């Protein structure tokens, strides 16, 4: 019975996600659903991405969080459209779902957006289970979290098109084994792309920016 309820919830979510996807498709918007554990560096990556690409494409962001608008506040200075979703009062504490995104996009002028980045709630578990209408999921992990996370949270890595290994500026201060990490990503997702970077220092970020530009360009 319990499983049945969960299946119904996921089926209803997927149907609405498909509707969202059609809306985005029609407007030619490339949509990234960005997942990670708390504190892996999603918002810092957004800041650097917007600063670098804001002049050549129109970017909007949907911020998912349980409480606070801290992440949205950090993006204010870039003067792009940002919608904050706080999940604590809408029954979905730990992840964004298609219905939340469906409501959020009413607050955006979709006809003037090329790239929409959805920063999910910081959580490597449930956000991986819910489609929201994205073109693809991107999962980020920081080297400070350890090299054993892929097989412990396999779905997040399995459903993501791109894996970002962040905070490589801390690599020499940790025991992180990059070869092991890459090997295990390939185990759960042979076609995953993997990029290493430091959103903070900017090292390697050009590969991420190229990846984004290529996706948005192909969309037009």
Torsion of CA 108, 69, 115, 20, to 10 degrees: -60
C-alpha to C-alpha distance for 63 and 33, rounded to whole angstroms: 10
Burial category of 179 from C-beta neighbours within 10 Å (exposed 0-12, middle 13-18, buried 19 and up): exposed
Positive or negative CA dihedral for 117, 28, 106, 78?
positive
Among 20, 33, 84, 142, binds its own copies (CB under 8 A): 142
Any idea which residue has 């504190």 for tokens?
39
Among 34, 35, 37, 105, binds its own copies (CB under 8 A): 37
Quick one: which segment of 88-96, 99-107, 191-199, 205-213 binds its own copies (CB under 8 A)?
88-96
In angstroms, give the least distance from the CB of 170 to its own copies: 6
Angle between helices 205-219 and 42-53 (to 10 degrees): 60
Pick between residue 51 and residue 125 the one whose CB is nearest to its own copies: 125
Residue 114 touching its own copies (CB under 8 A)? no
**Binders of its own copies: how many residues, by CB under 8 A?**
39
Strands (E), the chain: 30-36, 59-65, 82-86, 115-119, 136-142, 160-166, 193-196
Quick one: which segment of 25-33, 54-62, 106-114, 165-173 binds its own copies (CB under 8 A)?
165-173
The answer to whether 30 and 110 are in contact (CB under 8 A) is no
Residue 25 touching its own copies (CB under 8 A)? no
DSSP 170: G
- Window 48 to 77, contacts with its own copies (CB under 8 A): 65-68, 70
Pick between residue 121 and residue 138 the one whose CB is nearest to its own copies: 121
Quick one: which segment of 22-30, 77-85, 105-113, 116-124 binds its own copies (CB under 8 A)?
116-124
Among 22, 56, 148, 214, binds its own copies (CB under 8 A): 148
Residue 171 touching its own copies (CB under 8 A)? no
Among 10, 23, 170, 182, binds its own copies (CB under 8 A): 170
Residue 144 touching its own copies (CB under 8 A)? yes
The answer to whether 47 and 74 are in contact (CB under 8 A) is yes
Q: Which of 212, 219, 214 is nearest to 45 (CA)?
A: 212
Residues within the interface to its own copies (CB under 8 A): 2-3, 6, 37-40, 65-68, 70, 91, 93-94, 121-126, 129, 141-142, 144-146, 148-149, 151-155, 167, 169-170, 173-174
């Amino acid at each position: 019975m319990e499983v049945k309820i969960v299946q119904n919830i996921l089926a209803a979510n997927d149907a609405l996600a498909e509707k969202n996807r059609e809306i985005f498709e029609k407007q030619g918007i490339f949509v990234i659903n960005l997942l990670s554990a708390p504190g892996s560096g999603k918002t810092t990556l957004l800041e650097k991405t917007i600063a670098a690409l804001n002049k050549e494409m129109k970017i909007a962001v949907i911020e998912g969080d349980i409480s606070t608008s801290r992440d949205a506040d950090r993006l204010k200075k870039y003067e792009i459209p940002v919608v904050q979703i706080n999940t604590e009062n809408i029954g979905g504490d730990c992840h964004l779902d298609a219905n939340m995104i469906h409501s959020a996009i009413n607050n955006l002028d979709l006809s003037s957006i090329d790239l929409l980045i959805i920063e999910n709630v910081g959580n490597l578990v449930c956000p991986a289970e819910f489609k929201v209408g994205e073109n693809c999921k991107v999962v980020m992990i920081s080297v400070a979290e350890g090299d054993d996370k892929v097989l412990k949270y396999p779905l997040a890595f399995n459903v993501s098109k791109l894996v970002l290994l962040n905070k490589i500026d801390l690599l020499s201060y940790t025991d992180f084994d990059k070869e092991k990490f890459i090997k295990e990503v390939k185990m759960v997702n042979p076609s995953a792309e993997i990029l290493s970077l430091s959103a903070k220092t900017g090292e390697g970020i050009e590969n991420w920016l190229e990846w984004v530009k290529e996706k948005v360009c192909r969309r037009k």
